[in-house]
Amino acid sequence: MTAGVLVVAGALLGLGGAIAGALLPKGWRVRAATALIWAACGCEAAAAIHVLAIDRPIVLRSTELLPFTGVTLVLNSLGAFFVLLVVMVAVPATLYGIGYASHGLDTRTAACVFPLFVTTLLLVPTAGSVATFMALWELMALTSLLLVLVDHSASEASRSAGTWYAVLTHVGAATILVAFLILAAHSGGQTFAAIAVHARHLASGVRALVFMLALVGFGSKAGAVPFHVWLPKAHPEAPSPVSALMSGAMVALGVYGIVLVGDDLLGGGPVWWWLVVLVLGGASALFGSLHAASSTDLKRLLAYSTTDNIGLVLLAVGAAGLYDATRHPLLAALSLVSALVLLFNHAAFKGALFLSAGSVQVATGSRDLDRLGGLLRRMPQTGALFLVAAAAISALPPLNGFIGEWLLFQSLLHGAVIGSTAADIAIPLAVAALALTAGLTVVAFVKAVGIGFLGRPRSESADEATEVPRTMRLAVGLLVAVCVVLGVAPTLIFPAVERAVKTALPGLGTRILAHGVDLQVVGLRGMLAPAALAGSLAGAVVGIMVLRRALSRQPTPRVVEAWGCGRQLQTARMQYTATSFAEPVQRVFDDVLRPVQDLDVTHVAESRYVIESVTFANTVDDAIERSLYTPVIRAVRRWGQVARRLQPGSVHRYLAYGLGALVILLVAVAVMG
């Protein structure tokens, strides 16, 4: 029962943080709220670790809190894993928030809403009933929406982002609610425990409907294609600590929802459900990575890369379901392990990347890569941390991103030989999607680092950039440390991951992975020694550096002007820009990206042979948004205009409406009666 106290205490401390943020004077509120949030994170993390250690859920019930339904909190191992994930991002993000506060987070609203947002993130995975879950889920959506708008509520871009986010998240919440209501109606209770007992015996059509509704709802929160359109709008506009939490933690909770409904509540489903998930994942991974490779706005690039990473996670979740449906529990478990590891890793490096992007924005006032450059010399620590996080997301060994992709590849590799037709077709294509995504991610992040942080500064503000305050660097450093540690010693989180996976896929007796220094997939032939690999790589680097020093006559290089083909003047404009860097990719994938190019040549008045100015614009907007959402929005607008004609303001016509309605009602009653 003491563990239950921890959960409640965490929630109360979080609320305390919100109250402190709302009531305290400006100089105090951010620090006080942050301290309380850390305490809340500590409590929840302790409870989560306790649950994972004893492998028994904590159950808390209160009938007083919510009218009619009461509050049910159940923290099981799956939820505990997600709580730990949220804590891992929330602590650095709030630490970063102290230094970042003057950029919109120290207003009374923001200081109150931010702790509330973190608290809901911590509590969503502990929800144990439909009502509790939906209340927390909606609160999470609302607080994050407020935070998207808090930074520059006057700007057109952030207002538009807010609208998109609000609409999509609420459509998602509606479909989730419908899915849960169908389940609850058939189960005679609204707690997840009751639903899990009854849901397995429902008609297959009903189960499929529930799963698809949940997939749409949670998929829109997770940023899967085609529900991703809010991500590249809302994430760049939110203050950076909020972006980090939204992209690292909130999006992960979307995947939590899919696993919760698909595996925990419905207990798995037929093959075609999971093929849908696989297709959704593959499409998200490819579409996200393509757009990340061609984006020129740093935070937009990161937002698209979130869609890409979630796509990989959904590939893993889909493969897990597929294996489960074809009775390969070990492979299913391995796939789900890789999904959770990918999610945890993504939270670490994406958090670090969003926070450092925030540092860049603070230092230069811009997040347009075409106006940055040379930042590694001006902000050496932020630059180095961004570089490591970028290497991690590009899955370069020996960092954590590589471990996740290796696990995913192993689960797909062994799945290619299980002899089910669906798997035979899906798995090679999933491998291809994983591979192309990995390649495009490298393009995106070589661009982000190379254009943003290397070379010459492309604007005055980039030239004058200076390093950000120490707390902000420390916050990024914490997340980067997680990336490095989990790359060298990934087995540290495996006990927790394994417990979580066994909660979602019960009935698995054996271990999934051997826990030593090395990774070994139990029962399958797959192994990896990350620590030894990292050690030998480090040894080789040091050895070759020593060798280079010993062999060359000049130990340190002479600093000279870049050669640049003997040009007399080297300016920043001669460098490749983010746009030109991405041009080959953009040209190869012309059909998917559909870039809009605009070349405008102005001639002088006297002669059309003399050019006065040339402007060239290259924009890549979201093809899905353009072809899927724009028509819908236009149709809604048009019907809205039609509907307005019903409301001309004439009393006579309103009376006529009343009369008409009454007549129809009477006729209906007469016919039916």
Token pair 């870039």 is at which residue? Answer: 595
Query: 144: Cβ–Cβ under 8 A, 6 or more apart, which residues?
Result: 117, 165, 238, 242, 245, 246, 250
1, 203, 417, 605: which one binds other proteins (CB under 8 A): 417
Tokens standing for 184? 């609850």
Total binding residues toward other proteins, as defined by CB under 8 A: 92
- Rounded to a whole number of angstroms, the minimum distance from the CB of residue 597 to other proteins is 16
Contact with other proteins (CB under 8 A): which of 524, 592, 623, 628?
524
**Footprint on residues 294-313 left by other proteins (CB under 8 A):** none
Q: Which is nearer to other proteins, 166 or 416 (CB)?
A: 416
388 scored as a contact of other proteins (CB under 8 A): no
Nearer to other proteins, 167 or 454 (CB): 454
Nearer Cβ to other proteins (200/567): 567
Contacts of 371 (CB under 8 A, 6+ apart): 364, 458, 459, 461, 462
**Contact between 404 and 342 (Cβ < 8 Å):** yes
**Closest distance of CB 278 from other proteins, Å:** 16
Q: Which of 14, 217, 232, 526 binds other proteins (CB under 8 A)?
A: 526
201 binds other proteins (CB under 8 A): no
| Per-residue binder mask for other proteins (CB under 8 A), 418-437, x = binder | -x----x--xx--xx-xxx-
Burial of 178 (0-12, 13-18, 19+ CB in 10 A): middle
Nearer to other proteins, 42 or 439 (CB): 439
Query: Which part of the chain contacts other proteins (CB under 8 A), choosing from 56-64, 111-119, 409-417, 635-643?
Result: 409-417
Task: Provide, rounded to whole angstroms, the least separation between the CB of residue 576 and other proteins.
Answer: 3
CB-based contact 305:395 (threshold 8 Å)? no
Burial class (CB in 10 A: 0-12, 13-18, 19+), 273: buried
Return the closest-CA partner of residue 16 out of 28, 1, 34. Answer: 34
Our finding on whether 574 is near other proteins (CB under 8 A) is: yes
Closest CB 289 distance from other proteins, rounded Å: 9
Q: Return d(Cα 148, Cα 153) in angstroms, integer.
A: 8
- Locate the DSSP E strands across 106-198: none
Q: How far is the CB of 595 from other proteins (least distance, A)?
A: 15
Choose the binding region for other proteins from 169-177, 211-219, 411-419, 605-613 (rule: CB under 8 A): 411-419
When asked if residue 95 is in the footprint of other proteins (CB under 8 A), the reply is no
CB 408 to other proteins: min, Å: 10
**Torsion sign over Cα 500, 501, 505, 506:** negative
**Residue 635, helix vs strand vs coil:** helix
Using rule CB under 8 A, residue 522 touches other proteins: no
* CA angle, 618 then 623 then 624, to 5°: 155
CA distance 217 to 134: 12
* CA distance to 324, 418, 427, 499, 500, per residue, from 329 (Å): 5, 12, 17, 15, 15
Q: How far apart are the C-alpha atoms of 318 and 274, rounded to whole Å? A: 5
Q: Does residue 126 touch other proteins according to CB under 8 A?
A: no
Chain positions 21 to 60 lying near other proteins, rule: CB under 8 A, are none
In the list 585, 593, 620, 624, the residue contacting other proteins (rule: CB under 8 A) is 585
According to CB under 8 A, which one of 105, 253, 310, 395 is a site residue for other proteins?
A: 395
Instruction: Tell me which residues in 230-289 interact with other proteins (CB under 8 A).
Output: none
123 binds other proteins (CB under 8 A): no
Query: ω before 490 within 30° of 0 (cis)?
Result: no
Exactly one of 23, 174, 588, 636 binds other proteins (CB under 8 A); which one?
588
Stretch that binds other proteins, among 154-162, 326-334, 497-505, 522-530 (CB under 8 A): 522-530
Choose one: 223-231, 407-415, 490-498, 658-666; the region binding other proteins (CB under 8 A).
407-415
Handedness of CA 257, 184, 145, 99 (dihedral sign): negative
Least distance in angstroms from the C-beta of 624 to other proteins: 21
Question: Of 146 and 286, which has the nearer Cβ to other proteins?
Answer: 286
The helix/strand/coil state of 193 is helix
CA distances from 368 to 299, 364, 472 (A): 9, 10, 21
Stretch that binds other proteins, among 164-172, 262-270, 368-376, 604-612 (CB under 8 A): 368-376
Q: Which of residues 534-573 bind other proteins (CB under 8 A)?
A: 536-537, 540-541, 543-545, 548, 551-554, 556-568, 570, 572
Closer of 27 and 419 to other proteins (Cβ):
419
Q: Which is nearer to other proteins, 435 or 665 (CB)?
A: 435
Buried-state track 36-56, b at ≥16 Cβ within 10 A, e below 16: bbbbbbbbbbbbbbbbbeeee
To the nearest whole angstrom, how small is the minimum distance from the Cβ of residue 565 to other proteins?
7
**Residues 150 and 144: beta-carbon distance below 8 Å:** no
- What span, in angstroms and rounded, lies between the C-alpha atoms of 392 and 383? 14
State in angstroms the smallest separation of the CB of 121 from other proteins. 32
Calpha distance 446→453 (Å, rounded): 10
Q: Judged by CB under 8 A, does residue 185 bind other proteins?
A: no
Taking the complex as a whole, the smallest distance from the CB of residue 361 to other proteins amounts, in Å, to: 21
Find the binder of other proteins among 140, 141, 292, 438 (CB under 8 A): 438
597 counts as binding other proteins under rule CB under 8 A:
no
Shortest Cβ 429–other proteins spacing (Å): 8
Residues 439-478 as x/- pattern, contact with other proteins by CB under 8 A: xx-xx--x--xxx--xxx----------------------
Is 541 or 661 the residue whose CB approaches other proteins more closely?
Answer: 541
Question: Are the C-beta atoms of 452 and 369 separated by less than 8 Å?
Answer: yes
Smallest gap from Cβ 488 to other proteins, in A, equals 13
- Residue ranges of E strands in 284-357: none
Query: Per CB under 8 A, does 360 bind other proteins?
Result: no
CA 258 to chain centre: 14
Region of 2-10, 165-173, 248-256, 517-525 interacting with other proteins (CB under 8 A): 517-525
Q: Nearest to residue 225, comparing CAs of 168, 159, 147, 143?
A: 168
State yes or no: residue 665 binds other proteins (CB under 8 A). Answer: no
Q: CB of 528 within 8 A of CB of 518?
A: yes
- Cis peptide bond upstream of 226, omega within 30: yes
Q: Which of 32, 387, 488, 501 is the binder for other proteins (CB under 8 A)?
A: 387
Q: Which of helix, strand or coil describes residue 616?
A: strand
Helices (H), ranges, 454-555: 460-463, 470-488, 494-504, 530-551
Give least dist CB 126 to other proteins, A.
Answer: 37
639 is an interface residue for other proteins by CB under 8 A: no
Helix (H) or strand (E) holding 651: helix 651-672
